[in-house]
Structure 1
């Protein structure tokens, strides 16, 4: 019954609950004992992979074209009529495994998440999750429709990015103001969605027996190896160490540009006045050169990327109606990842693709594990997989490796990347502390005006060196366009912790690239079979929250920037 599920994938994209139900009922009816637990787990995994891929493919269809009403309706049907029933039955399967008292080989760590899911499950929350998903689609549609008219053409916000690399400062300012005014037009619409998100999340947490959504989501995200207090220790370390480093970088750029103050439309321009890096002019060239880079990093990884190219598992170019951002998702029964991006020919597009490809390589590695539950590695390490690949691939972005740049331009790209790592930590701290405040002060944070005040307060604490005088109101656009705050609540600390982990992998690579790459790949292959600190250790790093560790690696980044600038 379960042996040929992969062959049923195409049909399963149109299945209704009655088509999925027999598989779960078969699993629930079977006896689970020491002799049967392994084949039972394999069959459960086969079903979970099919369900996971169906869900993922239908969700992808809503992001590659946010105007596709048929795709939206198919996904809404999945979430409204099938997802709640699958969740309810999955709870019973989890319960069946736990009550058996058995822990199959390699399942000790995944059992923590399974037990947490049992503890959190409330049937009355299932329709609320559906409503939350529908709100997410509505938010995507608002953001996906945000365009401006520039030089007689309609352009997406992403397509405007090249303007901020131009030397003409007045033109950059004009473009920035055009965008910010357009974003502000949707403020009330997004505020209305915010009220609905907050109401739902309060009800979800209350139903599950939690005083705050923060306490609920901490368990829901499987954060077993660190606490909210450690997260705030990390943001304090960022304020102590990373904020002054970012301010030093911004002041240096201001001086090179000969400006009295660095304004928000000045942050992407080359501080030495050089022409912007425009590494590719077609998506085909983008993919081809990326493949060459990965072949240099590791031939097996290069072959995996080639597979994604040939099997149309890459959607990289920006276009009107496409959802925002970039992501890598999994098609587990096909044992394939899928990368979504909004590339427009900029240097940052390279880093985005390297990043999402790190996720993809992690996916390929995890698909070899026997059980679906072992593939659910913690996001705090999943982001190490992606961020470390940005750095591990950086020596190979030159033309002589089949990449994008001559040696000089490659150095520029790497310098910009390293600067952005430093400046990311303070912004991450803003988002993280904002979300801690939101979900610890629910009633106050339900008012968008209170959120505005808190966002400005945090911005003032962490975001140093860029002058928004006269345009403070536009800072408020930023939290409304931060996808995670709306669609993936309390997801962002993962990026900050993982960035520190990735920099540790990179520091090892500076000493021995081959060894660092092997440690990285060894950690990817573990999936969720060990704890989060152990994953960092196998990768050659340490899960850290303290200012001393952060300072060690910020010092290394600043030292490397100096070396690249004088090379």
Structure 2
């Protein structure tokens, strides 16, 4: 057996032969934890590790069911296996989870935990106990089933181009082509195909909105936004900070994007810049092709990570040896990309829909950053320590996008193509911040107005997106598409309010990259030191360990935008 095939730690509590095929098999372990007598600090630590082992097993079991379902959304057995967990296991564990949380707090009062990280864990547990309501268990189940409907609808979307039926990710590569008519054809077909299911997706989302609002009311919150801030453990910032972020992006980033898009229009020489003109190279060169296929992408990523640190390359090699990648786009596969941590083995799984574009390369190194994080926290003793808040998780991934960019010569041997790739990515960083602000502000509106109609939702989306859009792109005659463009953002359906983290982490990532450019050795060392903390410190302390600030004020954003603009100016010389 290869030494890259890692093994999980032996199961001391569950035992090696345990198989999850019915709730009745699992219940005795929960009963053990609930009714066990814990009478010493040492026994309390053993109890915590047993709980961690049980929860890690369930997390990984659920992970594989989700992975298999998203890899093939048309497979009924995969759907049933996932739904079994959601419908039969999670509702039963939820009540026990609340009782375990209460027992943890009681034991911590009796036997204070002094090791690093337990204060952060207990802070979160206290919040979970505060907001738990048994009547929300059934609602959670309904919500998760509804979310799989979204995956099935979007995963089945295809269009026909040049006589071939292709997936939406594959279709998007046509938007980089130099043939303007072909770009318009692809953009229109993609938009029409999404519009075809708009009513179905509106219906799914209305159900999700109503279920989520009821959850919030059950937990004594005015709206789902406030409930989610508590449920997500947002101890370090408030909705008011999010609104400040929106305003700062509108004032400091959108004007830069406006200039950038104006220059694109001028360079292309078009009288009107249309939405299908935003991805094509301004010099009318074909789209960048950083790799040929999935294997080539992995080969080159190994080399790229090796240049950063041999340890990081070893992580990719381990995942590859263990079959923890599914990268190609194909019909029936769920959209998007993710790195799914596997709690027991500690070796994550990366899923994406790669074709051969620069965007795919960025997705690979982004998810690779998440994977690095999983490896760095692999040996922390308690599962709560290994699950950092998303503001930290996305710092890991977005920083790796920019750090790896210093070694993209692996993907682009031609110096001009390398510069072009860097310019395109940095321009994407600038244009992504307004999109993040748009999605986040829209979600605040949705749940502050829980009885809104579909027409009101469309109008709100158009208004909010207009606040963060450039004034150059011409949508004349395309207005029917604008009200529904939010439906392509899976986070709104599947992980509500998980999006502003990208914006906060993007700011942090720019700072990490700035440090790495000044001093690669120290910059990387601080970055990895921050990741190794997992969730044993506050967000601010973790960012400080990385050598950066957790700050999304207007002044800080303006400072970082000046840095990015300066890097772009150097690349364009």
Q: Same fold (TM over 0.5)?
A: yes
Q: State whether residues 180 and 477 of structure 1, in contact with CA within 8 Å, keep that contact through their aligned partners in structure 2.
A: no
- For 1:459, the equivalent position in structure 2 comes to 465
CA–CA distance in 2 between the matches of 1:412 and 1:359?
Answer: 26
1:61 deviation in Å?
1.1
1:327 equivalenced with 2:306 (yes/no): no
Of the three residues 156, 172, 180, the one matched with 1:161 is 172
Q: State whether residues 279 and 404 of structure 1, in contact with CA within 8 Å, keep that contact through their aligned partners in structure 2.
A: yes
- For 1:144, the equivalent position in structure 2 comes to 155
Aligned to 1:148, what secondary structure does the other structure show? Answer: strand
1:349 deviation in Å?
0.6
Q: State whether residues 289 and 404 of structure 1, in contact with CA within 8 Å, keep that contact through their aligned partners in structure 2.
A: no
Alignment TM-score, normalising by the size of structure 1: 0.96
Q: How big is each residue's C-alpha offset from its partner over 1:505-534, in whole Å with a ceiling of 9 and x where there is no partner?
A: 011111001111110100000011000111
- For 1:22, the equivalent position in structure 2 comes to 28
Q: How big is each residue's C-alpha offset from its partner over 1:256-277, in whole Å with a ceiling of 9 and x where there is no partner?
A: 1011232110000001122221
1:404 deviation in Å?
4.0
Of the three residues 421, 433, 446, the one matched with 1:425 is 433
Q: State whether residues 110 and 374 of structure 1, in contact with CA within 8 Å, keep that contact through their aligned partners in structure 2.
A: yes
CA–CA distance in 1 between the matches of 2:201 and 2:413?
Answer: 41
Q: How big is each residue's C-alpha offset from its partner over 1:314-337, in whole Å with a ceiling of 9 and x where there is no partner?
A: 111100000010001111111110
Q: 1:524 to 1:17 in 2, by over 3 A?
A: same
Q: 1:5 to 1:298 in 2, by over 3 A?
A: farther
CA–CA distance in 2 between the matches of 1:36 and 1:451?
Answer: 53
Q: Provide structure 1 residue ranges, at least 5 long, that are not aligned to the other structure.
A: none
CA–CA distance in 2 between the matches of 1:109 and 1:564?
Answer: 43
Aligned to 1:275, what secondary structure does the other structure show? Answer: coil
Q: After TM superposition, list the pairs within 5 Å mapping 1:384-403 onto structure 2.
A: 384-399=395-410, 403=411
CA–CA distance in 1 between the matches of 2:295 and 2:92?
Answer: 42
Q: State whether residues 6 and 334 of structure 1, in contact with CA within 8 Å, keep that contact through their aligned partners in structure 2.
A: no
CA–CA distance in 2 between the matches of 1:192 and 1:343?
Answer: 30
CA–CA distance in 2 between the matches of 1:427 and 1:138?
Answer: 25
Q: How big is each residue's C-alpha offset from its partner over 1:39-95, in whole Å with a ceiling of 9 and x where there is no partner?
A: 111111111110110011111111000001111111111111111111111111111
Of the three residues 451, 456, 477, the one matched with 1:443 is 451
CA–CA distance in 2 between the matches of 1:61 and 1:127?
Answer: 24
Q: State whether residues 440 and 497 of structure 2, in contact with CA within 8 Å, keep that contact through their aligned partners in structure 1.
A: yes
- For 1:288, the equivalent position in structure 2 comes to 299
- For 1:3, the equivalent position in structure 2 comes to 12
Aligned to 1:530, what secondary structure does the other structure show? Answer: coil
Aligned residue pair count: 558
Q: 1:103 to 1:73 in 2, by over 3 A?
A: farther
Q: 1:389 to 1:7 in 2, by over 3 A?
A: farther
Q: State whether residues 98 and 132 of structure 2, in contact with CA within 8 Å, keep that contact through their aligned partners in structure 1.
A: yes
1:556 equivalenced with 2:567 (yes/no): no
CA–CA distance in 2 between the matches of 1:553 and 1:6?
Answer: 51
Q: State whether residues 253 and 434 of structure 2, in contact with CA within 8 Å, keep that contact through their aligned partners in structure 1.
A: yes
Aligned to 2:165, what secondary structure does the other structure show? Answer: strand
- For 2:528, the equivalent position in structure 1 comes to 521
1:114 equivalenced with 2:125 (yes/no): yes
CA–CA distance in 2 between the matches of 1:539 and 1:214?
Answer: 30
CA–CA distance in 2 between the matches of 1:523 and 1:15?
Answer: 39
Cα RMSD of the aligned pairs, angstroms, is 1.3
- For 1:46, the equivalent position in structure 2 comes to 53
Alignment TM-score, normalising by the size of structure 2: 0.95
CA–CA distance in 2 between the matches of 1:24 and 1:441?
Answer: 39
Q: After TM superposition, list the pairs within 5 Å mapping 1:60-209 onto structure 2.
A: 60-100=67-107, 101=109, 102-104=111-113, 105-106=115-116, 107-209=118-220
Q: After TM superposition, list the pairs within 5 Å mapping 1:436-515 onto structure 2.
A: 436-444=444-452, 447-464=453-470, 465-515=472-522
Aligned to 1:155, what secondary structure does the other structure show? Answer: strand
Q: State whether residues 6 and 333 of structure 1, in contact with CA within 8 Å, keep that contact through their aligned partners in structure 2.
A: no
CA–CA distance in 2 between the matches of 1:274 and 1:75?
Answer: 44
CA–CA distance in 1 between the matches of 2:238 and 2:175?
Answer: 39
- Consecutive aligned runs of 4 or more in structure 1 exceeding 6 Å deviation: none
Q: How big is each residue's C-alpha offset from its partner over 1:192-236, in whole Å with a ceiling of 9 and x where there is no partner?
A: 111211110111111111111111010001100001001100110
Q: 1:6 to 1:171 in 2, by over 3 A?
A: farther
Q: State whether residues 206 and 212 of structure 1, in contact with CA within 8 Å, keep that contact through their aligned partners in structure 2.
A: yes
Aligned to 1:510, what secondary structure does the other structure show? Answer: helix
- For 1:244, the equivalent position in structure 2 comes to 255
- For 2:4, the equivalent position in structure 1 comes to none
Q: 1:371 to 1:255 in 2, by over 3 A?
A: same
Q: State whether residues 6 and 50 of structure 1, in contact with CA within 8 Å, keep that contact through their aligned partners in structure 2.
A: no
Q: 1:54 to 1:478 in 2, by over 3 A?
A: same
CA–CA distance in 1 between the matches of 2:515 and 2:383?
Answer: 31
- For 1:534, the equivalent position in structure 2 comes to 541
- For 1:276, the equivalent position in structure 2 comes to 287
